[in-house]
Structure 1
Amino acid sequence: MGVNNSPNSASGEYNLFSKWTGKKSKYKYRLIDYKNKQDKKDFLLSDTKCNLEILPQGIMITGNFKEKESIIPVLKDEIESLTLIRGKEVIDTFYMSPMYIMSKLGIPNRVSRHLQVYPSEYKIAETRIHIKCEEYQLTLITSGSRHSKILRNLKRFGFDTNLKLVEKPRLNLLQYRRALDL
């Protein structure tokens, strides 16, 4: 099922991405849960850094999983359900910060967040991806800011038929502060 191309990046060998580009890849995802129908739960695959590639034929997860397997292919036809969970968005700006002013002018948070002064002004919790197939289940996490890119790629390649979107509520502390001032 896998290809033996990337046992361990520390040993000097490269994975598929680095084979094509000549660079070592930076892992952007973490496989936190892998359940197989035969093995029930594979502890060797849990909490492993990996990358996720969305293709027209399916989803490919590459990483340093086992000695002989570095790719987990998930064909589009095998996917029973695909759940994308966006983390909670927290906005905690201070009076007269650039982000606060942009928000008051009606500019969306996805634009005004680039003008934050402190990293604590705008946070998005981690994005979770649950892939359920007949034989196995996968759960991946990544940065909350990657949610829109993942969603766009899933829709572009036609995964929206079995895609379920879950968005956690937003927490805008500016509204709570105004209520306390009254």
Structure 2
Amino acid sequence: MKGLTSEHSDHFDFLSKVSERKSKHHYRLVDFKNKQHKTDFLLSQTKCNLEIFPEGLVIVGDFTEKEGVIPVLKSEINSITVVRGKEIIDTFYLSPMYILSKLGVPNRISRHLMVYPSEYRISETRIMLKCQNYQLTLVTSGNRFDRLLRNLKKSGYSGLLKLVERPKINMLDYKNAIDL
């Protein structure tokens, strides 16, 4: 990647094997800005994966013909902002998820008994990495939020994390207000 010294590339030489693996991409790089706040449009909207290591983060994808890996050392990261998507609950009366929700069971458990896929969904999760030389924004499925957060904390990024949770929307509250 442009602007990386040989010291940086030495730390991530072992990751070249990671970029060679063929796997399903779970993330999408939606924004890449360098130090001069210029957006690199070639990197925008690229499918990729985020690999988390105690030494740093690696974004693996098909960015250009020469570069398939963006290494980010832990010492270069200023902050990691994780924005959880909106949680939307739209169940129907006497649905198993509806009954469990009314009994006080958390949505993360009751969602496994939904009848229709539209009863429970989380909009996309955003990850913003602010580094000394550049800024990255990644997007993934809302269901990956908990796993991502757990992996970042386990790898020692707790001090750099900033969490933002969007409010949940319970469509039942709106339906009950209309029925009155």
Q: Classify the TM-score, shorter chain.
A: 0.7 to 0.9
Gaps of 5+ in 2: 3-8, 10-15
Distance 2:73 2:108 in 1: 33
The equivalent residue for 1:133 is 131
Distance 1:75 1:61 in 2: 11
Do the aligned residues in 2 keep the contact of 1:17 with 1:25 (CA within 8 Å)?
no
- The Cα of 1:132 is off from its aligned counterpart by 0.6
Distance 1:123 1:103 in 2: 15
Distance 2:74 2:32 in 1: 18
Matches within 5 A, 1:1-182: 1=1, 16-17=17-18, 19=20, 24-37=22-35, 40-182=38-180
- The Cα of 1:178 is off from its aligned counterpart by 2.5
Do the aligned residues in 1 keep the contact of 2:19 with 2:60 (CA within 8 Å)?
no
- The Cα of 1:18 is off from its aligned counterpart by 7.7
Most deviating of 170-179 and 159-168: 170-179
Distance 1:19 1:46 in 2: 21
Deviation string 1:104-146 (CA, Å, 9 cap, x unpaired) is 1211100111111111111100000000111110000000000
CA RMSD of aligned residues (A): 1.8
3-state DSSP class of the match of 2:112?
A: helix
3-state DSSP class of the match of 2:44?
A: coil
- The Cα of 1:69 is off from its aligned counterpart by 0.7
Which of the two has greater helix per residue? 2
> Structure 2 counterpart of 1:98, which letter?
P
- The Cα of 1:176 is off from its aligned counterpart by 2.4
Distance 2:136 2:19 in 1: 24
Deviation string 1:4-24 (CA, Å, 9 cap, x unpaired) is xxxxxxxxxxx834856xxx3
Distance 2:83 2:102 in 1: 28
Query: Cα–Cα, structure 1 residues 18 and 32, in superposed 2: closer, same or farther, change >3 Å?
Result: closer
TM-score (norm. length: structure 2): 0.87
How many residue pairs end up in the alignment? 168
Deviation string 1:158-180 (CA, Å, 9 cap, x unpaired) is 11111100000111111222233
Aligned identity (percent) is 64
3-state DSSP class of the match of 1:110?
A: helix
